[in-house]
Structure 1
Amino acid sequence: MNLAKSLFICLILAFTSLASYFLLIGSGMFPSPDLALIGLVMVFILALSQSRKIFYFILLPLIIIHAFYTPTGLNFGAPSYQYIASLFATDLLETKEFLLQIPFTSYLIAFSIPVLLVAQYKLTQRAGINFYRNKTFLALSALLVAFHLPIANPLKETVNAGLKIMDEVGKLKAMTNSPSRWGVTELEAKYDDYVLIIGESARKDYHHAFGYPVENTPFMSQAKGTLIDGLRSAGTNTVASLRLMLTLPNKETWEPNYDLSLMDLLNSAGLETHWLSNQGYLGEFDTPVSSLASKAQQVTFMKKGGSFNSTNHSDFELLPKFAHILQAPSSKKRFIVLHIYGSHPLACDRLEDYATIFKEGQIDPKHHYLNCYISSIKKTDEFLARVYEQLKAHQASSQRSFSMVYFSDHGMCHQENGKEIVLNQNCFSQAHHDVPLFKLSSDDSEQKRYQAFKSGLNFVEGMATWVGIKHPLLDEKVDLFSNQPDPSDYGLADRIKEKYRKEADPAVDIGP
């Protein structure tokens, strides 16, 4: 390829890219188009410019029509019913006044679009460049088109999610040495010890206490406390959910505010804070959850090396460490988080030290995994009972009152793998956000059951109300344990309707 032809190609691509950019922003629909979209429009222009008739009778008229709208699109946005209706109802004077509102630069951009288009066409013809014969051009064009098809969505989602997580971790690292936005808060705590137990992957409808026919929650079903049927988690996996439920999030964008975390709020109120976890731990800032946990004054992770660490610790191993915290003398109010492994996939691995509810042969073989799942929930129920017993025993010896709360971070979705029905995160269920919420305190005298919607986005405010913390940024009306529903789901129902499975996904009764 000689130098002159290379120069022509550079000019053609420059003119085409500039025209493509102006077309996109002039539509009013793409104020900040990305490179992939600009490239796709370039392919469209270059492909239609290979034929003289197509260029003059199809492409150029379309571009001119588009250019006529460009001044409006640049200043008032995409075409709409209101704009079209006003066009028919506007007189000459109103039209003049409307046109005078538009800056001269907008008209200049509109005029340049067909000029750039014709310029690239003339240069292409003069240099004798046939893009349709160039294999590199065809290959890149195919990739650009594929990038905008549904087939590329998994790759784009993966890349975008990875970049988002890296950005969040970067923000968390940057905030380590900066104070939280809570400042000083007011504390009027009713109890001496507060315990928050974060469950894992436990759907509400698989708990007998919430209606599941198999009895797998003997403690929750009978204990004196408050059962809330209506909490909806803020996400469909641990990180997605807890980064919003353990910070005071932006409820419009569903983004976390890491400088308004629950742990920072508790610390600002003068509580002694502890975090005991049976979840995986790679490093202080490797996940948003570990970063939020690291804000506690005392942090203990059972696992090092992530959730897939080959060492399968039982949740029961947290209990001696919990007892050690209780027995340590303290004159402060304390807040202790127990983050358990619960019903995390694979559920059968959670039962190395616990029996399944049904033995082999008692149930349909396709319910083997579900037997493990409901048994893991029973194990969690026993874990709650043991925590409660430790708190009661400590109260008897120290006179410290207490209150404990259990919830699960998210649910899961049913799938059939050919041999059995499993629950995992490979799909999105209508019941994915439905999780249990249970509170019991040292002075409870009866069991209360309320069916009331509670949004996971209000969780920090609900925790503050529970503990007795007041702050101008907190809505004191939010009460996780009242019989009054939250007024808004902040668009969750629309998200479920748009992205989740349409069919119902009820719990499966595996009883013989």
Structure 2
Amino acid sequence: MLQGGGVNDSERQIFLLVILIIFLSSSKKSFWFLVFPMCVIYAIYSPIGLMFGKPTYQYVASVFATDFLESKEFFYQIPKVNYLYPFVIIFGVVLYRYIIVRFDIKLYRNKTVVIIAVIFSMLNQSPSEFFKTIIKSSIEVKNELVKLNEIKPKSDWGESFIDKSIYNTYILVIGESARKDYHGAYGYPINNTPFMSRANGYLIDGLMSGGTNTVASLRLMLTKPNVDRWEPNYSLNIIDLIKSAGIETYWISNQGYFGDFDTPISAIASKSDHKFFLKSGDYASKNTSDFILLDKIKDIVINNHNKKFIVVHLYGSHPNACDRINDYKKIINIKDKKYDYLNCYVSSIQKTDLFLEKLNNFMRENDNSYSMIYFSDHGQAHREIGGEIYFNNNRASKLHFDVPLFMISSDDDSRHECKSFKSGFNFVNGIASWVGIKNKKIDSNYSLFDCNDDPNDFGVKKYIESIELELDPAIDLRGK
């Protein structure tokens, strides 16, 4: 039960849980109304907890932001043997009840006193920690969604104006789950990014994402956050900033969409003048390719010659990565099944690179004044399951925050590669500078592409140092 709940399963905690069950079993009612429901909840969560650990804010937020297809893929990642644990837990507790009743076994004396004492002794121990985490995380998510609904008509940017805005079209491409060290452009030994590796523009080595999954990261990177508390400010979001300068906004996404304010990301997207989601409505159960987004972008560029800002949110390398390349080939042949999934992951990054190349080629032919930025929302962590190495976001890697950052523009005639630390918490400042927007709440001197280190990481490096997982560098698939 404790392992399945992802909480402390030391001998002491196991002993305390056993004592709790034994003494609560002194009463038929306390067994069936306390012990049994507790064990059932642990049992239901155990297949997930054995793989991803205890529920956290990020995990609960991901549940809110996940559609049917993502849920199906999520459960496919869980080893089949994990689904036996709920039956083992429930069978075990029922068998225990049968034995103590059948043989009239009593391991207690004064039942009332002992039950009260045991319950209070458990309040700050592992059995109740699981429920406290669920309640705390759920309340945090609920409060954030309530806050989103409260602020939906409001923007606190005030007046903005355009100053030295060079291009007619700005395109912000958001990658998904693409860790920097798996890109050929950043040194990965397999060249899965031929376009990013050779194109003129700026390749920045040093961007740190805002979190370890889509919601946790983008809610901070696409708003001007409270950097001390790591909290987003939805009244200062990137779309409202662009609109405050009189620029038309578009949001084109291959991510799931439920309603305007069902997730922090859809709340920001809903602010756009125009939004298009491949996976909303009838698309919710389809594994749609990122390439389909190109047609929508082409339609916008061809039919709208006004100044515009287009956000393109890819499905990229989202787990399950093998489903991301249904319409694409694997980059190399792998002999060892252990690395099959990583082969899909590396290939999905190559597919994203091809997407960027196709988009850039179209823009060069149809818009002589454009600039495009690509970055990823977060990385992932290795995990070996059933003899095969997978990637997932539900536990943190020391390399989880390292993501690519690439910019290419219509007038680029040279290539620049810079190793400079850039905090995702400054991302909105960087986008404002890129577009040429002036606002009193923006640092007008900040640039993502000045090749200088940000002076403050706002505690990210300290957090990374606290991650207990050993360093898990990219795995070279050559010869595997």
**TM-score between the two structures when normalised by the length of structure 1:** 0.70
Check if 1:318 corresponds to 2:293.
Answer: yes
* Residue 477 of structure 2: aligned partner: 510
* Matching residue's letter, 1:283: G
Residue matched to 2:308 = 334
Shift of residue 139, structure 1, vs aligned partner:
3.8
Correspondence 1:198 to 2:204: no
Question: What TM-score do you get using the length of structure 2 for normalisation?
Answer: 0.75
Partner residue, 1:115: none
For the residues of structure 1 that align with 2:301 and 2:120, how far apart are their CA atoms?
A: 60
Q: Percent identity?
A: 50
Q: Is the 8 A contact 1:280 1:306 kept in 2?
A: no
Asked whether 1:249 is paired with 2:249, we answer no
Contact 1:363 1:510 in 2 (8 A): no
Contact 1:271 1:334 survives alignment (8 Å)? yes
Q: 1:213 to 1:272 in 2, by over 3 A?
A: same
User: In the alignment, does 2:325 pair up with 1:358?
Assistant: no
Shift of 1:502: 4.4
Distance (whole Å) between structure 2 residues aligned to residue 134 and residue 184 of structure 1: 71
1:304, distance to aligned residue in structure 2 (A): 2.0
Please report how far the alpha carbon of residue 463 of structure 1 lies from its aligned counterpart in structure 2 after TM superposition: 0.5
Higher mean Cα deviation, 411-420 or 197-206?
411-420
**Range moving further from structure 2, 342-351 or 465-474:** 465-474
Structure 2 residue 138 is the aligned partner of structure 1 residue 162: yes
Shift of 1:136: 5.2
Q: How does 1:133-172 map to 2 (within 5 A)?
A: 135=111, 138-139=114-115, 141-150=117-126, 152-172=128-148
| SS of corresponding position for 2:422 | strand
- 1:191-270 to structure 2, matched below 5 A, reads 191-270=167-246
Distance 1:306 1:347, change over 3 A: farther
Q: State the AA in 1 paired with 2:304.
A: P
Length, aligned pairs only? 371
Change (3 A) 1:145 1:443: farther
CA shift at 1:476, angstroms?
Answer: 1.9
Query: Match of 2:439, as an amino acid?
Result: H
In the superposition, relative to structure 1, how do residues 138 and 365 fare at CA in structure 2: closer, same or farther (>3 Å)?
same
Check 1:153–1:403 CA distance in 2 against 1; reply closer, same or farther (3 A cut).
Answer: farther
* 1:273 is the counterpart of 2:249: yes
Contact 1:363/1:511 (CA < 8 Å) preserved in 2? no
**SS where residue 274 of structure 1 aligns?**
strand
In 1, the alpha carbon distance for the partners of 2:315 and 2:131 equals 29
SS in structure 2 opposite 1:310?
A: coil
Q: Which amino acid aligns with 2:292?
A: E
Q: CA deviation at 1:305?
A: 6.1
Residue matched to 2:279: 303
Alignment of 1:421-432 (within 5 A): 421-432=389-400
* Aligned residue type for 2:141: I
Which residue among 375, 394, 399 is the counterpart of 2:347? 375
Equivalent in the alignment of 2:411: 443
Q: Which residue identity does 2:362 align to in structure 1? A: Q
Q: Is the 8 A contact 2:152 2:267 kept in 1?
A: no
Q: Deviation string for 1:288-340 (max 9, x for gaps)?
A: 00010000100111112699x43100000101011000011333x21000000
Larger Cα-atom Rg: 1
Question: Aligned residue for 1:107?
Answer: none
2:372 counterpart (404, 407, 425): 404
Q: Give the Cα–Cα distance (whole angstroms) in 2 for the partners of residues 165 and 334 of structure 1.
A: 33
Partner of 1:392: 364
Kindly indicate whether the alpha-carbon contact (under 8 Å) linking 1:185 and 1:268 is maintained by their aligned counterparts in 2: yes
| Secondary structure, aligned partner of 2:240 | helix
Whole-Å Cα distance in 2 between the matches of residues 363 and 305 of structure 1? 40
SS in 1 for 2:256: coil
Match of 2:29 in 1: none
Q: 1:268 to 1:151 in 2, by over 3 A?
A: same
Structure 1 unaligned regions, length at least 5: 1-131
C-alpha distance in 1 between matches for 2:192 and 2:274: 33
CA contact (8 A) 2:279 2:285 kept: no
In the alignment, the residues of structure 2 paired with residue 300 and residue 144 of structure 1 have an alpha-carbon distance, to the nearest angstrom, of: 53
Whole-angstrom CA distance in 2 between matches of 1:260 and 1:221: 34
Distance in 1, Cα, partners of 2:162 & 2:118: 62
Counterparts in 2 of 1:41-56, with a 5 A limit? none
Q: Which residue of 1 aligns with 2:468?
A: 501
Mapped to 2, the partners of 1:435 and 1:142 lie a distance apart of 48
- 2 CA distance for matches of 1:161 and 1:180? 27
For residues 116 and 175 of structure 2, the distance between their equivalents in structure 1, rounded to whole angstroms, comes to 48
Shift, 1:470, TM fit: 1.1
List runs of 5+ in structure 2 lacking aligned partners: 1-107
Residue 411 of structure 1 contacts residue 434 of structure 1 at CA under 8 Å; is this kept in 2?
Answer: yes
* Alpha-carbon distance in structure 2 between the residues aligned to 1:170 and 1:451: 40
Distance in 1 between residues matched to 2:293 and 2:119, nearest whole Å: 51
1:135: Cα distance to partner?
3.9
